[in-house]
Amino acid sequence: MDDYAVSGRKARGGLTERRRPARRRLVGRSVPAIAVVAALAISACSSSKDSGGSGGGSDTYTIGYIADTSGAVLASGGPRSNAVKLAIDEINSSEYLGTGKTLKLNEIDGASDPTQSITAGQKLVADKSILAVMCCSLSSVAGPLKPIFSKAKTPLVVTTAVLAGLPQPPYIYRTTILNNTPAGPNGTLLTKAIAAYNAKSVDIVRSSDVDSMVSEASSWKAAAEAAGASVKVIDSTSKQTDFSGIATQVVDDNPDIVVDSMLGANGPPLVAAIAQRGYKGHVLLNQPGDNKDFFKVVGKNIAGAKFAVPFAPQSTDPSAVKFTNAYKAKYNDTPTYDAAQGYISVYFIAQALKSITGKVTRESLAAALAKLTSLPSPAGELSLSDGQAHGGTPIFLMWKEDGTKVIWDGQS
């Protein structure tokens, strides 16, 4: 029986010390009266046990979130955190989990730093009220966290990181749609661009010190070669801030298409640098190309740059429209796919919670998550297999000079 279920200091027999006088007064009373008191004591203990492990109370389910509200990926981490809170507000106000049942959030900033994120993960795992945790913009964070959560038998839902082999049910899941395959959103975009512009050559600039970016660059390369283009891969690092040398190399190469396959903070200065040096070809961006930072850094020279995302606020899909309108109403801002990733991960956990008929624990939630095969989302209906989300139709967006984005028709 948990301490918070019955007030007062415990004594033997499950009763509190302040009730001892009452026990003495029972002498000589009828058996039914004693039975009533005993039943009340058993009921108190039973209620306490039912609430234990259910996230802070039988009607409150607590989930954790290792956020990126500071650090290198703040531009994407901020909207993602906003959408997590939006989803929880919706779930609670609509009583999605059932009458009187609510979802509670414990958010800790990991700052996209492996050490800080590991500390946050250990803290959340140690808190037995936490049923599941969401995390990870970067593979360098997700990788070290995976064994921690697997060992603790605590569900971990990865919102963004694309590290190969990361999902491992029943405890490790990933709800983002992978873009680091030749047939994924990035590869499809590049294939269309090569055809539209009759491109013969492609330069890919990658963050060579980040495994996920190396993997992503390989998928861009495979798609380009399959489409008949020659490819040159240029190495950068995630720590690089001066892109003048790389920009000069790109301009000298003068490829038909330049691909940004770097961490989010590195893309804008690269694109700005090649534009300043007179590059007139076509620019394709990876998913962080959806961030406002691109226009802030590059300005009107961003016009024509394209990227692929599973969700865009321009979508007419009912789920996308609902999410877009709700996000705008709450934050007075337009959501990106970064935001949608956070939103999707919360509903993934909520859908599993809703399906549990018995006691809610980390183990029962993990089992419920493993049984899910589909998930409605702003990116369309997703399928789930082996802990990985699939599906969604890629949307190709193009930046305009005024900092707005429009759907690219795949031709102009």
pLDDT tens track for 145-180: 999 999 999 999 999 998 889 999 999 999 999 887
Q: pLDDT at residue 36 above 80?
A: no
Radius of gyration of the chain (CA): 26
- Give the pLDDT band (50/70/90) at residue 55: low
- Poorest-confidence range of 46-55, 205-214, 372-381? 46-55
Mean pLDDT, residues 73-85: 93
Element (H, E) at 130: strand 130-135
Q: pLDDT at residue 290 above 60?
A: yes
Q: pLDDT at residue 393 above 90?
A: no
Q: What does DSSP say about strands 382-385 and 374-375: parallel, antiparallel, or unpaired? A: antiparallel
Are 315 and 342 spatial neighbours (Cβ–Cβ below 8 Å)?
A: no
**Which amino acid is located at 406 in the chain?**
V
Calpha distance 87→16 (Å, rounded): 41
For residues 378 and 73, which has the higher predicted lDDT (pLDDT)? 378
pTM for this predicted structure: 0.81
- Give the pLDDT band (50/70/90) at residue 68: very high
Q: pLDDT at residue 26 above 70?
A: no
CA dihedral 340, 103, 356, 324 (to 10 degrees): -20
Q: pLDDT at residue 122 above 80?
A: yes
- At 182 the pLDDT is 79
For residues 41 and 379, which has the higher predicted lDDT (pLDDT)? 379
- At 245 the pLDDT is 97
3-class DSSP assignment, residue 369: helix
Could you tell me how far CA 163 lies from the centroid of its own chain? Answer: 13
Calpha distance 65→392 (Å, rounded): 25
Residue 126: which residues within 8 A CB-CB, separation 6 or more?
Answer: none
- Give the pLDDT band (50/70/90) at residue 31: very low
- Give the pLDDT band (50/70/90) at residue 293: confident
- Give the pLDDT band (50/70/90) at residue 350: very high
User: Distances from the Cα of 134 to the Cαs of 115, 137, 251, 330, 382, in angstroms?
Assistant: 17, 10, 41, 22, 18
CATH superfamily of 60-177+316-380: Response regulator (3.40.50.2300)
Equal fold, 60-177+316-380 vs 185-309+396-407: yes
Give DSSP secondary structure letters for 177-217: PP--STTSHHHHHHHHHHHHHT--EEEEEEETT-HHHHHHH
Calpha distance 119→29 (Å, rounded): 57
Most confident by average pLDDT, 1-10, 43-52, 257-266: 257-266
Mean pLDDT, residues 255-274: 94
- Give the pLDDT band (50/70/90) at residue 21: very low
Q: What share of the chain has pLDDT > 90, as a percent?
A: 75
299-325 pLDDT, tens digit per residue, is 999 999 999 999 999 999 999 999 999
- Give the pLDDT band (50/70/90) at residue 44: very low
- At 412 the pLDDT is 75
Token digits of residue 351: 């859908």
Tell me the pLDDT of the chain averaged across its residues.
Answer: 87
133-148 pLDDT, tens digit per residue, is 999 998 999 999 999 9
Q: pLDDT at residue 47 above 50?
A: no
- At 153 the pLDDT is 98
- Give the pLDDT band (50/70/90) at residue 7: very low
- Give the fold, CATH level 3, of 185-309+396-407: Rossmann fold (3.40.50)
Q: pLDDT at residue 54 above 80?
A: no
- At 252 the pLDDT is 97
Give DSSP secondary structure letters for 349-362: HHHHHHH--S---H
For residues 326 and 43, which has the higher predicted lDDT (pLDDT)? 326
- At 264 the pLDDT is 82
Are 196 and 173 spatial neighbours (Cβ–Cβ below 8 Å)?
A: no
Are 60 and 98 spatial neighbours (Cβ–Cβ below 8 Å)?
A: no
Q: pLDDT at residue 1 above 50?
A: no
Mean pLDDT, residues 109-132: 97
Sign for the pseudo-dihedral over CA of 360, 364, 366, 371? negative
What are the boundaries of each domain within the chain? 3-51, 60-177+316-380, 185-309+396-407
